[in-house]
Amino acid sequence: MIRAMNSLTSYLSSIILSATVLLLIAAFSGNKAEKIKVACVGDSITYGARLENPERDSYPAKLQSLLGDTYAVENFGVGGMTLIRKGIPTVWNELAKIKASGPDIVVISLGTNDTCGFGSCGDRKCWEYKDEFEKDYRDLIEELSRLPSNPQIFICAPSPMVLETPDLNAERIAGLKVRKPRLQELISMVKKVAREKNVHFIDLNEPLDHRPELFTVSDGVHPNKAGYAAIAALVGNQIKTHRK
């Protein structure tokens, strides 16, 4: 009798243990499934260039901290990346990876490298194709909008070129003086595309312009740690405000 009771107790204990394990697995899996996936698409400024530790201090990394554990932020920044198809490298070559991530939110910040051309940035040819910028941007948004995850899309005015940054040499200043007005022209196009495609617009340009304390010394284009944190705050605020 005692042996039978012990066997029954052991059997019931094993059932309870198994049920507990299954519940924990289900809860863990549920938490993972609930994470909101954010794809940050951009160039070296998205990647976190000039930082000692981009994985910790890039704007997508800071954005992850701001949004919290219910979000999963992935960095799709590539140095030199352009929006236009004819640029090298171009976002169009990264599109398969971005799509494969199944994003719920896509944040795009591109255009800085599209200002290169006609002798600026060496032999890069991008500005020569500026008339294709709007169409390529619309096409990119349409491609992403067709994803099964039906992502919410935010497109950004790229961060500024800050001529007041300390220790810029004469060549750098001359190049930025050519490219800065071009960037403003592209930002006007970005705003137009945002209206036409009914996607959210985030201004990363005006809030950071003329603020050399946020940019890497002798560079003037890539932010420093404080600048990347400022970008993350601007993006995070818009996501929290407009998350559907």
Which CATH number fits the domain that encloses residue 229?
3.40.50.1110
- The neighbour count for residue 104, using CB atoms within 10 Å, is 19
Examine the domain organization and report whether 19 and 67 are in the same domain.
no
State the chain's mean pLDDT as an integer.
Answer: 91
Examine the domain organization and report whether 22 and 97 are in the same domain.
no
pLDDT at 10 > cutoff 70: no
Distance separating alpha carbons of residues 92 and 87, to the nearest angstrom: 9
Distance separating alpha carbons of residues 70 and 32, to the nearest angstrom: 9
Examine the domain organization and report whether 176 and 148 are in the same domain.
yes
Examine the domain organization and report whether 97 and 216 are in the same domain.
yes
Domain total of the chain = 2
Contact 50, 222 (CB under 8 A): yes
- Which residues form the domain of 194? 35-242
pLDDT band at 89 (very low <50, low <70, confident <90, very high): very high
Distance separating alpha carbons of residues 88 and 57, to the nearest angstrom: 26
Examine the domain organization and report whether 53 and 163 are in the same domain.
yes
Digit-coded pLDDT (tens) for 133-188: 999 999 999 999 999 999 999 999 999 999 999 999 999 999 999 999 999 999 99
pLDDT band at 33 (very low <50, low <70, confident <90, very high): low
Q: Which of 43-47, 54-58, 117-121, 153-157 has the lowest mean pLDDT?
A: 117-121
pTM of structure: 0.86
Digit-coded pLDDT (tens) for 209-223: 999 999 999 999 999
Any alpha helices (H) in 146-218, and if so which ranges?
170-197
